[in-house]
Amino acid sequence: MDIFSAKIRLASILAGLAIAAVATGIILAVVRYVFGYSLSLAIVGIILIFVAAMDAIQWLISPYMIGWMYHLTPLSSSDPSSQWIRESVEKVASLSNMKAPQVFIAEVSFPNAFAYGSPLTGRRMAITRGLLSVLNRDEIEAVIGHELGHLKHHDAELLLAIGLIPMLIFYLGYALIFSGGRGRQNGSAFIIAIALIALSFIFNVIILGVNRLRETYADINSAVTVPNGANNLQTALAKIAGSTPPRAIRRRKNISSSVASMLMIYNPEDGQQADHRVLVEKWRHMKVPLLASIFSDHPHPAKRIQVLEKYRNA
């Protein structure tokens, strides 16, 4: 791992911890102000257990929900035509010094891939039927390197852990609107409630930023582990963008809250109908506005191409 990769990873972890710490402090401070008492260690422990339980339930059942949503079928070991996919996953997993995950095929037409899993199901990776028809084997292996990076760095667990925080802040504010608090005027409680709801939105924006960092780090994992990974991933991203139909964009908007959608190799909303060579060249030289991706869970494709450019001849 080089210095740039280490900085990306450290920034991601610290951002997640900062979100958790600040959000917890805000919740405790508001409860004390509005309800007029401090929370004991026992009550704090109960709250933490409740939050952990909710998070654990979501983590455990999410693979089954994802399987239903994307019509996933396990990669058949008896099908000679798909044996090369298994071999590619095992090859890239070996290069990443990790055990190969269970592979599924998503019976959807748009090209994409994502990694997910839980203690009940183990680590899993899904490749869409559309991806297999658009990319060649080298490009698919670069995409696999990206997805294995998510599994290797526990990105799904991180997103689930910090994603519950803005939800708790939002519902606390929502509850205050109707409760009015104790020992304070209703007007003060209402103002605090609105502030909490606004803060939950801000935290969601920050979490999107954390996910963009994780996407960058997953790209780097592919670039430094898969032979010619940087070049092949650049081409793969451009091919996916150039062949993603508009209906896939509408479909993604309907499932935007899914962790799997956040960990997809590519955000379909960035789809552009153009030749992949034209797109790569365009993105290599594009100056991306600072706020271009602030409300996106993936970096702007030009930023991804430009980061990968640093690894092409490494």
DSSP 237-276: HHHHHHH--HHHHHHHHHTTT-HHHHTSSS-GGG---S-H
Q: By percentage, how much of the chain surpasses pLDDT 90?
A: 32
Question: Higher-confidence residue: 191 or 213?
Answer: 213
Positions marked active-site = 147
pLDDT for residue 255: 44
In the chain, alpha helices (H):
3-35, 41-69, 83-95, 129-134, 137-152, 155-179, 186-225, 229-243, 246-254, 259-262, 276-285, 301-309
* Other CB atoms within 10 A of residue 300 CB: 18
Report the alpha-carbon distance of residue 240 to residue 83 in Å, rounded: 23
Which distant-in-sequence residues (6+ apart) come within 8 Å of 169 by Cβ? 23, 26, 27, 196, 197, 199, 200, 203
Give per-residue pLDDT as tens, 259-284: 555 656 666 555 555 678 888 899 99
Please state the pTM of the whole predicted model: 0.83
Structure tokens at 209: 């930023």
Give per-residue pLDDT as tens, 216-225: 999 999 999 9
